[in-house]
Structure 1
Amino acid sequence: MERRQVGTSGLRVSALGLGTMTWGRDTDEVDAGDVLRTFLDAGGDLVDTAASYADGDAERILGGLLAGTVEREDVVIVTKAGVRQGAQGARRDASRGGLLGELDASLRRLGTDHVDLFLVACPDPVTPLEETVSALRLAVTSGRARYVGLSNHPAWASARAATLLADDGVGLAALELEYSLLQRGLEREIAPAAAALGLGVLAWSPLGRGVLTGKYRRSVPATSRAASDHLAGFVAQYLEDAACAAVVEAVATAADGLGRAPLEVALAWLLDRPAVAAAVVGARTPAQLKGTLGALDLVLPQEVRGALDDVSAIEVGYPERW
C-alpha cells in the first residue's frame, strides 16, 4: 500500500487508514483483531481512534492488540480528544486540562507512552483557541504526541492554530474532516488553507457513511448502520437527500462500466484529490476491508472523474469566488 506524506510534516501514513468507531460496540475484540491483522498484512499502518469511541473501549481493544500479536512500531496511532461524557450527555471540552487529561487516559488504555498524531475532535465554543493550542504544544513537547492537528474545525481556526504553533517549531500537521463525493464542503476553504499552510488532510467517512457502497439503493439491510439504533441518524441525512441519491447512481453507473465495485470508484475518486493524505475507512469485518483495498489500484478515466466531479459539485459563491 502506498505511504503518503502528511502535508509538509515528516509524518508518513498509509493511503488507507483503519477507523475504529465501531470497536467495542458493533465490533468485538476478535473481529477487531482480524480486521487489524488484515489491514497490516495489506501494508496499512494508520489506525484512527478516539477517547470517545465506545467510552474508551475502542482504545482499550487496540491497546490489548498492541500488547499481544501486533507490534507498536507497525502502527501509526491517531487519537482524538475534546468530547467528554457527563451527567448531561456529551459536551465539548478543548480546555488544556480536558485535552491533556484525556490524552493521558488514552495512553493508559492504549498501553503506549505516545501517540503518533493527536487531534482535537471538534471546536469548543467556550475555550479560547489559544488555550487549546497550548495543550497541543505541550502534548508534543512532553513527548506524549509526535504530531498534532485538528478535526472538524473551520478554516479560520485551522489557520490560526497553524500560525500559533509555527513559531516554536511544533507545527500543525493534519486536519481530519469528513470528505467524500457526498460531502465536499471542505473544498470551499479548508483545502486551499491546507495547501497554503502545508497541512495534510485525513478524510473520514470517505464512503459517505456507507451510502456510496450502493447497498442502500433499494432497501436498508438489516445488518447495516442505517438499521442500527445508535447509528441510523448518522446515515439518514444522506439517505433522505435527492442530490445524494443522484451521486450514488452516478457512482454505480461508473462502477458498472468499469467492472468494479461502487465503493472502489468512490474511494479512487477521493484518494486522487490533491489535499488528501489518507482516507479512513470504518470496516467492521475483514471482508469489508478487503473490498476497500480494490480502490488502491484503480485509476479513474478522465471522463469518469469529470462526470463524478460534475454530479457532486458544491455551490461556491461569495466570498470564496469573487
Structure 2
Amino acid sequence: MHMRMRTVGASGLKVSAIGLGSLTWGGQTDSREARSMVRHFVDAGGNLVDTAPAYGGGFAEQLIGKLIHTDIRRDDLVIATKAGFVVEGNKRVVDTSRSALLRDLEGSLRRLHTDHVDLWQVHAWGDAPIEETCAALDYAVQAGMARYVGVSNFVGWQSATAATWQRADGARIPLVSNQVEYSLLARRAEIEVAPSAQHHGMGLLAWSALGRGVLGGRYRHGTPKDSRGGSDRLSWFVDPYLTRKSSAVVEAIVKAADGLGATVPQIALAWVRDAPVVSSALVGPRTTSQLEELLGTDDVVLPTEITSALDDITGGPNLARDTA
C-alpha cells in the first residue's frame, strides 16, 4: 500500500498524511500491540511517528529505538520527538532553556538508539528567552542531531515570534512545523495558528485529530471501561469533550459516514487531513484493529458539500479553504 505523502510547510521534509502518535504506549498500549501497530503503519506506507520523552516515561522512545533495529529500517520512519516538557509526579514542568532542551535531546537519542531525529519540536512555550530556545534548535541541526525543527502547542503570536526570529538571520534554521490540537471538536487553531503557520511557511501537525478519541464514536452510548475516558489516569483529557455539543457533532458524522460508506473515525480524520495548512493528521490508536480502520481513511474523499456541512455544524466556515 502507499499512503499519500506531503511536504511539511515550505520544507523538503516528506511525511505521511496520517501520522502515528505514541502517547498511550507503555500505559494503555503494551509493547506487543505498539510493535504490531508500527509494523502495520509502515506496511501501509506511513512514515511519521510522533513521540516525546514524557510518553510512558521514555517507554515510547525506547520501543521505537528497538523496532528500528529489529522490525523496520531506520529510514522507514520520520521520527518526530519533543523537548522542554517533563512530568514530575503530578506536576507538568516546562523548561525551554538551552540546557534542558539539549539534555532532553541527548536522552531521546539514547533511548531511540539513533544518531538523529528527523523532526525535533519544542514541546511548549516556556519562560526562557525565545532567542535561547531557538539557538538550541540551530545547534541541534548543525550538530547533526536533528534534521528539521519545529514547535508544538505554540499559539499564533508565539509561533510567529519564533519563526520571525529564525528568518531574521540567514544562518538560522527555519521552523518547519507547529504541532497543535486540531479536530472537528477543537477548531481554535484556524483563528491565529493556521494563518501564522501558512504565512511563515510552516505546516500544521494536528494532534488528537479524533477529538481525544471522542470522534471515534466509542462514547455515543456511555463511557467504555477500556477507553481513555474510563481511565483514572486519562479521563481529565477526555472529559471536556463529552458534552451535548460533541454528541451532536458525532451524530452528524454518523450521517455522513452512512452516506459515504465510511466509518465515523474515517470521516473525522479525513476532514482534518484535508484541512488547509495541515501536513499530517496524528492519531493515537490503542490497538492494531483501531489503526487498521484509520488507515482505511486513505481511500476516503470528502465531497465539498460534506466538508462544508461539517464546518457549519462545528463552528462555521474555515476561512482559509477558499485561499488554500
Give the structure-2-normalised TM-score. 0.94
Give the deviation of 1:253 after TM superposition.
Answer: 1.5
Equivalent of 1:292, from 285, 291, 294?
Answer: 294
Superposed, which structure 2 residues align to 1:173-184 within 5 Å? 173-184=176-187
What is the letter of the counterpart of residue 229 of structure 2?
A
What is the letter of the counterpart of residue 194 of structure 2?
A
**Cα distance between partner residues in 1 of 2:317 and 2:85:** 31
Match of 2:173 in 1: 170
Match of 1:197 in 2: 200
Match of 1:76 in 2: 78
> SS of the counterpart of 1:280?
strand
> SS of the counterpart of 1:228?
coil
Give the deviation of 1:89 after TM superposition.
Answer: 2.8
Deviates most, 79-88 or 213-222: 79-88
Superposed, which structure 2 residues align to 1:1-322 within 5 Å? 1-86=3-88, 89-124=91-126, 126-166=127-167, 167=169, 168-239=171-242, 241-313=243-315
Task: Give the alignment's Cα RMSD to 1 decimal.
Answer: 1.4
> SS of the counterpart of 2:236?
helix
> SS of the counterpart of 1:255?
helix
In percent, how many aligned pairs have the same letter? 50
Match of 1:320 in 2: none
Deviations 1:87-130 (A, max 9, x none): 67331111110000000000000000000000011111x21112
Give the deviation of 1:22 after TM superposition.
Answer: 0.9
**Cα distance between partner residues in 2 of 1:222 and 1:89:** 26
> SS of the counterpart of 2:92?
strand
Give the deviation of 1:243 after TM superposition.
Answer: 2.1
**Cα distance between partner residues in 2 of 1:81 and 1:40:** 25
**Cα distance between partner residues in 2 of 1:201 and 1:88:** 29
> SS of the counterpart of 1:122?
coil
Deviates most, 61-70 or 109-118: 61-70
Give the deviation of 1:84 after TM superposition.
Answer: 2.3
Deviates most, 297-306 or 17-26: 297-306
**Cα distance between partner residues in 2 of 1:258 and 1:2:** 20
Deviations 1:232-290 (A, max 9, x none): 11000000x32222211111111122221111111111111111100111112211111
Give the deviation of 1:86 after TM superposition.
Answer: 3.6
**Cα distance between partner residues in 2 of 1:88 and 1:132:** 25
**Cα distance between partner residues in 1 of 2:136 and 2:249:** 40
Give structure 1 regions of 4+ aligned residues with deviation exceeding 6 angstroms: none
> SS of the counterpart of 1:94?
coil
**Cα distance between partner residues in 1 of 2:185 and 2:197:** 20
Structure 2 contact 308–317 (Cα < 8 Å) conserved: no
Structure 1 contact 184–314 (Cα < 8 Å) conserved: no
Deviations 1:276-312 (A, max 9, x none): 1001111122111111012111111222111101001
Give the structure-1-normalised TM-score. 0.94
Stretches of structure 1 that go unaligned for 5 or more consecutive residues are 317-322
Deviations 1:141-183 (A, max 9, x none): 1111011111001111111111121222411011100100000
Structure 2 contact 311–317 (Cα < 8 Å) conserved: no
Structure 1 contact 185–314 (Cα < 8 Å) conserved: no
Stretches of structure 2 that go unaligned for 5 or more consecutive residues are 319-324
Structure 1 contact 24–61 (Cα < 8 Å) conserved: no
Structure 1 contact 129–157 (Cα < 8 Å) conserved: no
What is the letter of the counterpart of residue 204 of structure 1?
W
> SS of the counterpart of 1:225?
coil
**Cα distance between partner residues in 2 of 1:88 and 1:183:** 25
> SS of the counterpart of 2:204?
strand
Deviations 1:33-79 (A, max 9, x none): 10000000000000000011111111111111112121101110000
**Cα distance between partner residues in 2 of 1:244 and 1:85:** 29
What is the letter of the counterpart of residue 231 of structure 2?
S
